[in-house]
Amino acid sequence: MSSKVLGFGVVGLGMGMSRAGTIAQTEGAKLVAVADLVEERRKNAAERFGCDTYEDYREMFDRDDIDVGMAMTPSGLHAEIGMEAAKRGKHVITTKPMDVSLEKCDALIKCCEDNGVKLLVDFGERYGGMNKKIRRAMELSALGKVYLAELRMKWYRADPYYEGWHGTWALDGGGSVMNQGVHFVDLLQWFMGPVDSVIGHYGVYGHKNCETEDMTAAIVKFKSGALGTILTTTTYNRKQQLSMIEIHGEKGVIGRGPDVWEFVDEEPVVEVPPGPGNVIEDAIQVINEGAAPAVDGYEGRKSVELNLAIYESARRGTEVKLPL
C-alpha cells in the first residue's frame, strides 16, 4: 500500500480549529486548506497554520491536492458537506453526530460507496485506552451475564450557548443527548451491542432559549436481555462535570468516568492491541493501509438511530422498537 502524505481540507473552524491543529501535528498528514464563512476565523487559521483559506468549501474541495474532506460544522450540514467531498473523489470525515436524520446518514453512506471513498465518523472516545479495554472485556464476556449498563452525562451550558444553532432541531438534531451525550451513547451501544427497544423522556428544564431539550432520560432494553439507563443534561451547574458509564454483571463491575475494574473472583486478562490515537491517525491507516476505521458510516448512524428512538418514544409516550 502507498504511504503517501494525505492532504486534508477542514470545513468549519469552531471545533474544526482544534482538528486542524491535530492534522498539522500528525505525521503523514498535511493541512492544505480550511473553509469557513467567518473571515476572522479564516485569518486566524492562515496565521496559525500557514494554510490556504476559502469562504466556499466547494471551491476548496475542487483542489486536486486534498485527499480528505472533514466536516466540522453544525450537525445538520455534515452529510451535505460530506457528499460534496465524496463526489469530487475525497475521503470523508464528519464530526459527531454523523448528521441529524437517518435519511441524511444513509445518503452520505451511499454517496461515499458510489464514489469509492472512505467514510469515518469522529468519535474521539473510541480511541481512549480504558474505553477500548471495556469493549474488549465485553467481547470476552468477562462479566458473565450482564445485568445493567448506566450512562450518566451531566454537563453545563449557559444560556448564550443556545443563541445560535445549538439546541435546534434543524441543525443540532436535538439537545443534550444528540450533541454532548452522543459521545457516550456511541460508547454504550459499542460496549453493549444491539438495542431492542427504548422508553424515553426529554424536556427543557434550565434554559430560556433552547428549542429542543436540555435533559433526556431513557430506559434501554438490549437484545442481550440486559437493561440500560441513559441520563444526559446540560443543566448541571457544578464545576466538575460527569461523564460516566458503568456496567455490572454476575462476575463484576467495569466502567469509565471514573474508571472501575472490579471482579468477584480472579481478574481476567484483557489485552488491548495498539491502534490509532485519533481520527486523523485512523484515516491515514484506513486510506493508506486498508485498515478498518474505528467508526465507519454504518457504525456512526447507530447512535443517531438510538437518540432518534428516544425522542420518538418521548413524543409518543410509549416504548419504541429498533431498528426504526
Indicate if the pLDDT at residue 1 is higher than 60.
no
Indicate if the pLDDT at residue 2 is higher than 80.
no
**84 plus 102 within the same structural domain:** yes
Domain assignment present for 230: yes
Going by their DSSP bridges, the two strands 91-95 and 195-203 should be labelled as: unpaired
Domain assignment present for 52: yes
Closest C-alpha among 89, 109, 111 to residue 98? 109
Domain assignment present for 80: yes
Place of cell 432559549: 209
**291 plus 312 within the same structural domain:** no
Going by their DSSP bridges, the two strands 68-71 and 146-154 should be labelled as: unpaired
Above pLDDT 70, what percent of the chain? 99
What tens digit of pLDDT does each residue of 270-314 get?
999 999 999 999 999 999 999 999 999 999 999 999 999 999 999
Mean pLDDT of 93-111: 98
Could you give the CA distance from residue 282 to residue 152 in angstroms, rounded to a whole number?
Answer: 28
- Could you tell me the three cell numbers for 265? 473472583
Closest C-alpha among 64, 98, 102 to residue 81? 98
- The dihedral formed by the CA atoms of 210, 230, 99 and 66, expressed in degrees to the nearest 10: 110
According to the 3-state scheme, what is the secondary structure of 108-151?
A: HHHHHHHCCCCEEEECHHHHCHHHHHHHHHHHCCCCCCEEEEEE
**167 plus 315 within the same structural domain:** yes
What is the total count of domains within the chain?
2
**211 plus 81 within the same structural domain:** no
**100 plus 225 within the same structural domain:** no
Mean pLDDT of 186-206: 98
What tens digit of pLDDT does each residue of 137-173 get?
999 999 999 999 999 999 999 999 999 999 999 999 9
What is the DSSP track for 211-227?
SS-SEEEEEEEETTS-E
* Residue ranges making up the domain that contains 191: 126-274+304-321
**172 plus 257 within the same structural domain:** yes
User: What CATH number is given to the structural domain containing 39?
Assistant: 3.40.50.720
pLDDT tier at 54, thresholds 50, 70, 90: very high
CA 10 from chain centre, in angstroms, equals 17
Domain assignment present for 1: no
**62 plus 147 within the same structural domain:** no
Backbone angles phi, psi at 113, to 5 degrees: -65, -45
**112 plus 95 within the same structural domain:** yes
Could you give the CA distance from residue 274 to residue 311 in angstroms, rounded to a whole number?
Answer: 37
Half-sphere exposure of 229 (CA within 13 A, CB side): 11
Angle at 66 between CA 63 and CA 71, to 5 degrees: 105
Residues comprising the chain, all counted: 324
Backbone angles phi, psi at 71, to 5 degrees: -95, 110
- The structure's pTM equals 0.97
**236 plus 140 within the same structural domain:** yes
Could you give the CA distance from residue 96 to residue 256 in angstroms, rounded to a whole number?
Answer: 20
What tens digit of pLDDT does each residue of 293-303 get?
999 999 999 99
**203 plus 285 within the same structural domain:** no
CB 218 within 8 A of CB 229: yes
Indicate if the pLDDT at residue 3 is higher than 90.
no
Could you give the CA distance from residue 122 to residue 92 in angstroms, rounded to a whole number?
Answer: 10
**52 plus 84 within the same structural domain:** yes
- Could you tell me the three cell numbers for 247? 456496567
**135 plus 185 within the same structural domain:** yes
Mean of the per-residue pLDDT values of the chain: 97
Place of cell 441543525: 171
What tens digit of pLDDT does each residue of 211-252 get?
999 999 999 999 999 999 999 999 999 999 999 999 999 999
Domain assignment present for 188: yes
